[in-house]
Amino acid sequence: MKHKIIPIKDIAVENRERKVNDKKVHELAKSIHTLGLISPIVVTSKQVLVAGAHRLEAYKLLGLTEIEARVLETDEDARLVELDENYKRNDLTSAQRKKHMLKRISEIKLRFRNEIYDQAIQESIDSKNLSPKDKQAAIDTALGYREPDTVKPKILEVAKKAQNKLEKLAVEVVEGEYGCTQRAVRDVMRAEKKSATPMITFDDPEKKDPVVMIQKKTKQQIRKLILTLQSDIKSYSVDSKELNDVLTKLEELL
Protein backbone atom coordinates (compact mmCIF):
# COMPACT_ATOMS: atom_id res chain seq x y z
CA MET A 1 0.00 0.00 0.00
CA LYS A 2 1.36 3.42 -0.94
CA HIS A 3 0.39 7.06 -0.38
CA LYS A 4 -0.20 9.53 -3.19
CA ILE A 5 -2.08 12.75 -4.00
CA ILE A 6 -5.00 12.09 -6.36
CA PRO A 7 -7.23 14.52 -8.33
CA ILE A 8 -10.72 14.27 -6.83
CA LYS A 9 -12.32 14.21 -10.30
CA ASP A 10 -10.47 10.95 -11.05
CA ILE A 11 -11.90 9.05 -8.06
CA ALA A 12 -14.79 6.71 -8.81
CA VAL A 13 -17.46 6.22 -6.13
CA GLU A 14 -19.54 3.05 -6.44
CA ASN A 15 -22.67 2.04 -4.51
CA ARG A 16 -21.70 1.72 -0.86
CA GLU A 17 -23.18 0.04 2.21
CA ARG A 18 -22.92 3.29 4.19
CA LYS A 19 -24.82 6.29 2.85
CA VAL A 20 -23.21 9.72 3.09
CA ASN A 21 -24.64 11.88 5.88
CA ASP A 22 -24.76 15.55 4.84
CA LYS A 23 -24.58 16.81 8.42
CA LYS A 24 -21.49 14.72 9.06
CA VAL A 25 -19.90 16.01 5.85
CA HIS A 26 -20.33 19.62 7.01
CA GLU A 27 -18.91 18.81 10.47
CA LEU A 28 -15.96 17.00 8.92
CA ALA A 29 -15.34 19.90 6.54
CA LYS A 30 -14.95 22.22 9.54
CA SER A 31 -12.43 19.82 11.07
CA ILE A 32 -10.45 19.48 7.82
CA HIS A 33 -10.41 23.25 7.38
CA THR A 34 -8.91 23.58 10.88
CA LEU A 35 -6.55 20.59 11.04
CA GLY A 36 -6.21 19.29 7.54
CA LEU A 37 -6.85 15.67 6.57
CA ILE A 38 -5.82 13.42 9.47
CA SER A 39 -6.65 10.06 7.87
CA PRO A 40 -6.15 9.68 4.09
CA ILE A 41 -8.95 8.12 2.08
CA VAL A 42 -8.41 4.62 0.67
CA VAL A 43 -8.72 3.74 -3.02
CA THR A 44 -7.97 0.75 -5.23
CA SER A 45 -5.19 0.75 -7.82
CA LYS A 46 -7.89 1.82 -10.32
CA GLN A 47 -8.79 4.80 -8.07
CA VAL A 48 -12.14 3.42 -6.92
CA LEU A 49 -13.05 4.70 -3.46
CA VAL A 50 -12.90 2.07 -0.72
CA ALA A 51 -13.01 4.12 2.49
CA GLY A 52 -13.49 7.80 3.22
CA ALA A 53 -16.69 8.83 1.43
CA HIS A 54 -17.43 11.53 4.01
CA ARG A 55 -13.87 12.86 3.81
CA LEU A 56 -14.08 12.98 0.02
CA GLU A 57 -17.39 14.88 0.09
CA ALA A 58 -15.99 17.26 2.72
CA TYR A 59 -13.08 18.04 0.38
CA LYS A 60 -15.54 18.74 -2.44
CA LEU A 61 -17.54 21.00 -0.12
CA LEU A 62 -14.38 22.96 0.65
CA GLY A 63 -13.71 23.40 -3.06
CA LEU A 64 -10.50 21.36 -3.01
CA THR A 65 -9.39 19.51 -6.12
CA GLU A 66 -6.86 16.96 -4.79
CA ILE A 67 -6.79 14.63 -1.79
CA GLU A 68 -4.26 12.36 -0.09
CA ALA A 69 -5.03 8.66 -0.51
CA ARG A 70 -3.72 5.24 0.40
CA VAL A 71 -3.66 3.04 -2.68
CA LEU A 72 -4.37 -0.67 -2.19
CA GLU A 73 -2.56 -3.23 -4.31
CA THR A 74 -5.32 -5.85 -4.66
CA ASP A 75 -9.12 -5.91 -4.87
CA GLU A 76 -9.26 -8.39 -1.99
CA ASP A 77 -7.36 -5.99 0.25
CA ALA A 78 -9.80 -3.27 -0.75
CA ARG A 79 -12.81 -5.37 0.23
CA LEU A 80 -11.30 -6.22 3.60
CA VAL A 81 -10.62 -2.56 4.36
CA GLU A 82 -14.18 -1.57 3.44
CA LEU A 83 -15.62 -4.31 5.64
CA ASP A 84 -13.36 -3.22 8.49
CA GLU A 85 -14.43 0.42 8.15
CA ASN A 86 -18.13 -0.50 8.04
CA TYR A 87 -17.64 -2.61 11.17
CA LYS A 88 -15.86 0.17 13.03
CA ARG A 89 -18.47 2.76 12.11
CA ASN A 90 -21.75 0.88 12.21
CA ASP A 91 -21.60 -2.44 14.03
CA LEU A 92 -19.92 -1.58 17.32
CA THR A 93 -21.76 -1.93 20.60
CA SER A 94 -22.07 1.20 22.72
CA ALA A 95 -19.13 0.14 24.91
CA GLN A 96 -16.96 -0.74 21.90
CA ARG A 97 -17.77 2.55 20.18
CA LYS A 98 -16.77 4.50 23.30
CA LYS A 99 -13.50 2.58 23.53
CA HIS A 100 -12.74 3.22 19.87
CA MET A 101 -13.61 6.90 20.32
CA LEU A 102 -11.16 7.23 23.22
CA LYS A 103 -8.43 5.55 21.20
CA ARG A 104 -9.05 7.95 18.32
CA ILE A 105 -8.84 10.95 20.65
CA SER A 106 -5.54 9.64 21.97
CA GLU A 107 -4.17 9.20 18.43
CA ILE A 108 -5.15 12.75 17.46
CA LYS A 109 -3.58 14.23 20.58
CA LEU A 110 -0.33 12.36 20.01
CA ARG A 111 -0.13 13.50 16.42
CA PHE A 112 -0.87 17.19 16.98
CA ARG A 113 0.23 18.02 20.51
CA ASN A 114 3.71 19.36 19.69
CA GLU A 115 2.30 21.71 17.06
CA ILE A 116 -0.69 22.82 19.16
CA TYR A 117 1.27 23.28 22.39
CA ASP A 118 3.90 25.38 20.65
CA GLN A 119 1.23 27.47 18.94
CA ALA A 120 -0.90 28.01 22.06
CA ILE A 121 2.06 28.86 24.30
CA GLN A 122 3.49 31.23 21.70
CA GLU A 123 0.11 33.01 21.67
CA SER A 124 0.43 33.53 25.44
CA ILE A 125 3.91 34.98 24.90
CA ASP A 126 2.68 37.27 22.12
CA SER A 127 -0.11 38.54 24.37
CA LYS A 128 2.42 39.24 27.16
CA ASN A 129 0.82 36.61 29.37
CA LEU A 130 4.06 34.59 29.58
CA SER A 131 7.74 35.46 29.47
CA PRO A 132 9.61 34.05 26.44
CA LYS A 133 12.19 32.51 28.79
CA ASP A 134 9.42 30.36 30.31
CA LYS A 135 8.24 28.90 26.99
CA GLN A 136 10.14 25.61 27.24
CA ALA A 137 9.05 25.12 30.85
CA ALA A 138 5.42 25.61 29.78
CA ILE A 139 5.81 23.13 26.91
CA ASP A 140 7.46 20.57 29.21
CA THR A 141 4.65 21.02 31.74
CA ALA A 142 1.97 20.54 29.09
CA LEU A 143 3.74 17.39 27.87
CA GLY A 144 3.96 16.02 31.42
CA TYR A 145 7.74 16.29 31.76
CA ARG A 146 7.38 18.52 34.82
CA GLU A 147 5.17 18.06 37.86
CA PRO A 148 2.61 20.89 38.32
CA ASP A 149 3.89 21.69 41.81
CA THR A 150 7.42 22.35 40.51
CA VAL A 151 6.60 25.27 38.18
CA LYS A 152 5.36 28.82 38.62
CA PRO A 153 1.55 29.34 38.65
CA LYS A 154 1.66 31.35 35.43
CA ILE A 155 3.52 28.55 33.62
CA LEU A 156 0.99 26.01 34.87
CA GLU A 157 -1.90 28.24 33.76
CA VAL A 158 -0.51 28.59 30.24
CA ALA A 159 0.27 24.85 30.02
CA LYS A 160 -3.30 23.94 30.99
CA LYS A 161 -4.65 26.38 28.41
CA ALA A 162 -2.54 24.64 25.76
CA GLN A 163 -3.83 21.22 26.89
CA ASN A 164 -7.41 22.48 26.69
CA LYS A 165 -6.83 23.75 23.16
CA LEU A 166 -5.49 20.36 22.06
CA GLU A 167 -8.42 18.56 23.68
CA LYS A 168 -10.90 20.89 21.96
CA LEU A 169 -9.39 20.14 18.57
CA ALA A 170 -9.43 16.38 19.23
CA VAL A 171 -13.09 16.57 20.25
CA GLU A 172 -13.97 18.49 17.08
CA VAL A 173 -12.26 15.90 14.88
CA VAL A 174 -14.00 12.96 16.57
CA GLU A 175 -17.31 14.82 16.43
CA GLY A 176 -16.96 15.05 12.66
CA GLU A 177 -15.72 11.49 12.16
CA TYR A 178 -18.40 9.85 14.33
CA GLY A 179 -21.30 12.17 13.53
CA CYS A 180 -22.03 12.82 17.21
CA THR A 181 -22.17 15.96 19.36
CA GLN A 182 -19.21 17.45 21.21
CA ARG A 183 -21.15 16.93 24.42
CA ALA A 184 -21.38 13.19 23.73
CA VAL A 185 -17.62 13.01 23.11
CA ARG A 186 -16.83 14.91 26.30
CA ASP A 187 -19.22 12.69 28.30
CA VAL A 188 -17.22 9.65 27.16
CA MET A 189 -13.98 11.36 28.17
CA ARG A 190 -15.33 12.34 31.59
CA ALA A 191 -16.56 8.80 32.23
CA GLU A 192 -13.11 7.45 31.35
CA LYS A 193 -11.42 9.87 33.76
CA LYS A 194 -13.79 8.90 36.58
CA SER A 195 -13.07 5.20 36.07
CA ALA A 196 -9.29 5.71 36.08
CA THR A 197 -7.35 4.59 39.15
CA PRO A 198 -6.64 7.65 41.33
CA MET A 199 -3.02 8.54 42.00
CA ILE A 200 -1.63 8.32 45.53
CA THR A 201 -1.10 11.81 46.95
CA PHE A 202 0.64 13.12 50.04
CA ASP A 203 -0.44 16.21 51.99
CA ASP A 204 3.06 16.98 53.21
CA PRO A 205 5.58 17.44 50.34
CA GLU A 206 8.38 16.49 52.73
CA LYS A 207 6.82 13.06 53.30
CA LYS A 208 6.48 11.93 49.71
CA ASP A 209 7.38 8.30 49.15
CA PRO A 210 10.77 8.24 47.37
CA VAL A 211 9.68 5.18 45.37
CA VAL A 212 6.66 7.07 44.03
CA MET A 213 8.88 10.03 43.14
CA ILE A 214 11.29 7.77 41.23
CA GLN A 215 8.38 6.17 39.36
CA LYS A 216 7.06 9.58 38.32
CA LYS A 217 10.50 10.65 37.14
CA THR A 218 10.90 7.42 35.17
CA LYS A 219 7.50 7.92 33.48
CA GLN A 220 8.49 11.44 32.49
CA GLN A 221 11.71 10.16 30.95
CA ILE A 222 9.88 7.38 29.08
CA ARG A 223 7.34 9.88 27.70
CA LYS A 224 10.17 12.09 26.49
CA LEU A 225 11.84 9.11 24.80
CA ILE A 226 8.57 8.08 23.12
CA LEU A 227 8.06 11.59 21.76
CA THR A 228 11.59 11.64 20.40
CA LEU A 229 11.15 8.26 18.69
CA GLN A 230 7.79 9.26 17.21
CA SER A 231 9.34 12.42 15.83
CA ASP A 232 12.24 10.46 14.32
CA ILE A 233 10.11 7.87 12.52
CA LYS A 234 7.98 10.53 10.80
CA SER A 235 10.68 10.78 8.15
CA TYR A 236 10.41 7.08 7.29
CA SER A 237 7.93 5.29 5.06
CA VAL A 238 4.54 3.82 5.92
CA ASP A 239 6.37 0.65 6.96
CA SER A 240 7.12 2.38 10.28
CA LYS A 241 3.41 2.41 11.20
CA GLU A 242 3.70 -0.77 13.26
CA LEU A 243 6.45 0.76 15.41
CA ASN A 244 4.44 3.96 15.82
CA ASP A 245 1.40 1.94 16.96
CA VAL A 246 3.54 0.20 19.60
CA LEU A 247 4.79 3.56 20.89
CA THR A 248 1.22 4.89 21.06
CA LYS A 249 0.04 1.88 23.07
CA LEU A 250 3.05 2.19 25.40
CA GLU A 251 2.27 5.81 26.15
CA GLU A 252 -1.38 4.98 26.85
CA LEU A 253 -0.18 2.67 29.63
CA LEU A 254 1.82 5.40 31.41
Condensed to tens digits (0 to 9), the pLDDT of residues 202-213 reads: 444 444 444 445
Q: Which of 191, 188, 192, 125 is nearest to 161 (CA)?
A: 125
Domain coordinates in residue numbering, the chain: 2-90, 94-196, 197-254
0.75 surpassed by pTM = no
Give the pLDDT confidence of 52-93 residue by residue, as tens digits.
888 899 999 999 899 888 787 665 555 545 544 554 555 567
Give the mean model confidence (pLDDT) for residues 29-41.
Answer: 83
**Band of residue 46 on the pLDDT scale cut at 50, 70, 90:** confident
Counting every residue written for the chain, the total comes to 254
Give the pLDDT confidence of 195-239 residue by residue, as tens digits.
765 544 444 444 444 444 555 556 666 766 666 666 655 555 445
Give the pLDDT confidence of 92-148 residue by residue, as tens digits.
677 877 887 888 788 778 878 888 899 999 999 999 999 999 999 999 999 988 888
pLDDT computed for residue 140 by the predictor: 93
CATH of 2-90, one of 3.40.50.1820, 3.30.1490.20, 3.40.190.10, 3.90.1530.10: 3.90.1530.10
